[in-house]
Amino acid sequence: MSSIIYTHTDEAPLLATYSLLPIVQAYAAAAGVDVQTRDISLAGRIIALFPERLTDEQRLPDALAELGALATTPEANIIKLPNVSASMPQLKAAITELQAQGYALPDYPDNPATDNDADVKARYDRVKGSAVNPVLREGNSDRRAPESVKNYARRHPHSMGAWSADSKTNVATMAADDFRHNEKSVVLEADDELRIELVPADGGEAVVLKPSIPVLAGEVVDGTLMRAESLDRFLRDQVARATAEGVLFSVHLKATMMKVSDPIIFGHVVRAFFPATFDSYGADLAEAGLNPSNGLGGILAGLDALPNGADIKASFDRELADGPALAMVDSDRGITNLHVPSDVIVDASMPAMIRTSGHMWGPDGSEADTLAVIPDSSYAGIYQVVIDDCRAHGAYDPSTMGSVANVGLMAQAAEEYGSHDKTFEIPQAGTVRVVNRAGDVLIDHAVQPGDIWRACQTKDVPIRDWVKLAVTRARATGDPAIFWLDEGRAHDANLIAKVTAYLGDPAIVGDSTGLDISIASPVEATKVSIERIRKGQNTISVTGNVLRDYNTDLFPILELGTSAKMLSVVPLINGGGLFETGAGGSAPKHVQQLLKENYLRWDSLGEFLALAESFAKHAQTTGNHAAKVLGETLDRATGTFLNENKSPGRKLGTIDNRGSHFYLALFWAEELAGQTADAALAERFASLAATLRAQEPVITAELLAVQGAPTDLGGYYRPDDALAEAVMRPSATLNEAIAAL
C-alpha cells in the first residue's frame, strides 16, 4: 500500500506532531490511507551517524537517506515539517543532551588531531546547517497563500507598525569584493568532472580543495569569493555609521542554510564590533577554543575558565558601552544580535523588522530604528526597496494588499544552497581554480588568506522544470510572473539565456500566448511587486533558491502576519510530491513558553494545508476515492477553522496548539459526516462528529486546565516520548473519542 510519510522534526513542530498525528492517522486509516513517520530530527540524524557506538535499542536508521531516495520516485508523498538547521552551538547542544540521555556519542572535535577525530568531525558536519532540505527537494517550489488564508487575513488584519517618513532604518551592504561582484559563471557543454584547487602564490604545489565534482551537459557552475580585508573594512564602517546615525547595529545572515560561509562572516562581525578586545585578547580566546564564529554568547560562557577571563569580560563590556547600541534578541536576558549566529536569520528577521515600523529591540528594552547589515549585496537590495517604500507611503494594509506567490528554483541543491561542500576559508595567498578533466581552467580567482571562496552548481533539468512550473502557475492564475534575474550578475546572465530559450519552446512550456511573463533584476522586480501589492494586485515571483527563501518569508509575513500559513507544494521532478508546512523560525520561542507555562502557541495551519494536498496526491496516485474525500473535507474544515478563529491564541486562558487540533478534528469530522461522496465514510464519522460536538465543553476545559504551570519534556532536541505525549494530549475525553474511531 502506498503510504504518506509524515516527518518527525524538531522543536514546536515536533511537539505539535504528538497532538495532531494521532488524529490524522485515525482519520486516514478510516479511509484506508497509511500514514507513516520518519525521524529526520536533528537528534535522530545525529544518532544515525554512529550505529557502532550505540546499543540495539538506541540505533536509528538513516531516515533522511531513505526519504531522499524515495523523493526520486513517482510514489513519493512526503509531508515535511520545519526542522532545525543546526548552527554549531545548536549541534553541540544536541550532542550534549543526547550524551546525558545515555547515548555514547563522541564530542565534536573542533581541531581534529587524529584520523578518528577527522572522521567524527566529518560525520557531524553532515548534519550541520541545512542538511535536510537539499536531500528532499527533488523538485522546485510552488508556494502561495491559499484563498481561504488570504481572505481570513483581509477580514482579520494583523497588526502592522506605523512608519515615519523620518525613519533612519536602512540596509548596509558591500559595494565591491563580495560574492555578487566577484562571481564568474560557466555553462558546461558536455558531461565532465571538475576539481577545485588552490595554486599557492609562492610557487608551491597546488592544493586540491575538492577533488571531484561530476557535472552534466548544460549545467551552470559558478565560483566567487568575499574578500576578508574588504569585509572587515566594510564592517568597521558600519559600526561607525550606526554610532554616527544613532541607530541600532544589527547583522542579518543565514548561518543555518549557508552553514560554512555565514558563520565565518558572523565571526568577522563579532570581531569588528569588539576590535580592542580582539586586538588585546584574540590570541587567548583562540587558544581556549572560543571562536567568534560561534557567537558572543559562547565566548562569554567560556571566560570563567580563563585566568584573565574577568579582564576580557570587562573589555567586552566597555566596547558594548562605547559602541553603537546593539540590536537585541532578548533585551531582558541580555541576548544580543551577536550572541548566537542562528538567532537572527535574515529571511525571518528582516520582514519582522519591516512589519514593526523598521524597528528592532534595543538594550533598553525599547524599539528603535536600525542599521541592518547584510554584507553580501546579491539580494540585500530587495529589503532596501521595501524599507524605502514604507518610509514614503507608510505600512502596508493587510486588509487590502495583494499577494506575491513564489515559484522557486531549488531542485537538486540548486545555486548557493548547494555550495556547502565547495566553500573554503582560504589559508594562503594564491589562485583558486576550477579545472575540468582535460586540465582547462574554467574559473579562477586570486585570493588572500581569510578570503571566503565558494562554488555552486545548477543543473539544467531543474531549470527547465522551474520555467515550466512558472508558466503553469501564470496560466492557472492569470497573474503576471516575473523572473527575478539580474543581467549584471554572471550566474543570472546565464540563467536569463536559458529562461529566454525555454520560454520560447512549446515542448517545455506549452502555449504561453497571452501570458504576462517578464524578466527583471531583484530590485526592479521588488518595485513592481510592491506597487502592485498596494493596489491589491497579485504577482508571481519566479526566483532562484535564496530568493525563494527570502520572498516566501518577506511577503507572507507582511500579508498574513506569518509565513507558517503558506501552502508549499513541491511537485517532484519524477512525479512524486513533497508538501512543506511552513517556517519554523519562531519554534524555539514557542518551546520556551511551553516549558515555562504549558502553553504551545505554534500554529499548525501549514500542516492542515499540506495534508489536504497530500491526500489529493495520494488519491491521484492510488485511485483511492476515500483519500480524495479526506482531502476535500479537510480543506473545507480548514476554511471553517479560520472563519471560526480557532487558531492558537497568544496568551494563557485561550486555546493553544492542542485546542486548535481539537477544533480541526471536530470540523473535519462534521464535514466527513455531512458529505455525500462516500456514504461509508459519512456513516463512520457521524458518531465521532456528534461525540466531539457534544463533548466540546468538557474537552476544552480539560485542555485549558493544564495551562499555567511549568512542564517537563525530558529533552529539548529529543523529548521523552511518554512525557511529550502526556503534555500534548491532556484531554482524556478527546483521546478516547479518537481511539474509538
Strands 539-543 and 481-484: parallel
Q: What is the pLDDT of residues 4-62, one digit of tens each?
A: 999 999 999 999 999 999 999 999 999 999 999 999 999 999 999 999 999 999 999 99
* Mean pLDDT over the full length of the chain: 95
Burial of 456 (0-12, 13-18, 19+ CB in 10 A): buried
Predicted confidence (pLDDT) at residue 176 exceeds the cutoff of 70: yes
d(CA 683, CA 703): 28
**3-state secondary structure at position 611:** helix
- Region 582-609: what's the mean pLDDT? 86
Predicted confidence (pLDDT) at residue 651 exceeds the cutoff of 90: no
Predicted confidence (pLDDT) at residue 627 exceeds the cutoff of 80: yes
Q: Cell digits for 213?
A: 565534482
Q: What is the pLDDT of residues 479-506, one digit of tens each?
A: 999 999 999 999 999 999 999 999 999 9
| Backbone phi, psi, residue 222, to 5° | -120, 150
- Region 277-291: what's the mean pLDDT? 95
Residue 267, in any domain of the structure: yes
Best CA proximity match to 250, nearest among 380, 144, 154: 380
d(CA 726, CA 672): 28
pLDDT for 588 equals: 79
- Region 640-662: what's the mean pLDDT? 93
| Sheet with strand 3-8: strands edge to edge | 34-39, 3-8, 77-80, 577-580, 567-571, 141-144, 404-408, 539-543, 481-484, 517-520
Q: What is the pTM of this model?
A: 0.88
Residue 177, in any domain of the structure: no
Are residues 515 and 481 in contact, defined by beta-carbon separation less than 8 angstroms? yes
d(CA 50, CA 62): 10
Are residues 215 and 221 in contact, defined by beta-carbon separation less than 8 angstroms? yes
d(CA 348, CA 462): 26
Which spans in 250-323 are helix H?
A: 261-273, 275-287, 296-302, 309-322
Q: What is the pLDDT of residues 225-275, one digit of tens each?
A: 999 999 999 999 999 999 999 999 999 999 888 989 999 999 999 999 999
Give strand pairing partners of 406.
143, 541
- Region 636-657: what's the mean pLDDT? 92
Residue 288, in any domain of the structure: yes
Say how far residue 625 (Cα) sits from the centre of its chain: 34
Other C-beta atoms within 10 Å of 192: how many? 18
Are residues 617 and 652 in contact, defined by beta-carbon separation less than 8 angstroms? no
pLDDT for 585 equals: 57
Binned at pLDDT 50, 70 and 90, residue 630 comes out as very high
Residue 529, in any domain of the structure: no
Indicate the DSSP class of residue 720. Answer: -
Q: What is the pLDDT of residues 180-239, one digit of tens each?
A: 999 999 999 999 999 999 999 998 899 999 999 999 999 999 999 999 999 999 999 999
- Region 567-572: what's the mean pLDDT? 91
Q: How many domains does the chain have?
A: 1
Q: What is the pLDDT of residues 287-302, one digit of tens each?
A: 999 999 999 999 999 9
Residue 733, in any domain of the structure: no
Predicted confidence (pLDDT) at residue 345 exceeds the cutoff of 70: yes
pLDDT for 584 equals: 58
Binned at pLDDT 50, 70 and 90, residue 74 comes out as very high
pLDDT for 586 equals: 64
pLDDT for 100 equals: 97
Question: Which residue reads 527583471 in cell numbers?
Answer: 520
Q: Cell digits for 194?
A: 571538475
Q: What is the pLDDT of residues 394-418, one digit of tens each?
A: 999 999 999 999 999 999 999 998 8
CB contact set of 135 (below 8 Å; sequence gap of 6+): 64, 65, 67, 68, 71
d(CA 85, CA 130): 5
| Sheet with strand 192-200: strands edge to edge | 207-215, 192-200, 430-435, 441-447
Burial of 588 (0-12, 13-18, 19+ CB in 10 A): middle
Best CA proximity match to 79, nearest among 623, 567, 590: 567
Residue 361, in any domain of the structure: yes
Q: Cell digits for 335?
A: 541576548
Q: Cell digits for 621?
A: 496516485
Predicted confidence (pLDDT) at residue 634 exceeds the cutoff of 70: yes
pLDDT for 374 equals: 98
Question: Which residue reads 541607530 in cell numbers?
Answer: 247
**3-state secondary structure at position 18:** helix
Q: What is the pLDDT of residues 669-681, one digit of tens each?
A: 999 999 999 999 9
- Region 311-335: what's the mean pLDDT? 94
Residue 353 belongs to what domain range?
A: 229-376
Strands (E) located in 630-716: none
pLDDT for 566 equals: 84
Question: Which residue reads 532578548 in cell numbers?
Answer: 330
Predicted confidence (pLDDT) at residue 1 exceeds the cutoff of 70: no
Are residues 239 and 270 in contact, defined by beta-carbon separation less than 8 angstroms? no
Residue 304, in any domain of the structure: yes
Q: Cell digits for 589?
A: 520561542
Residue 116, in any domain of the structure: no
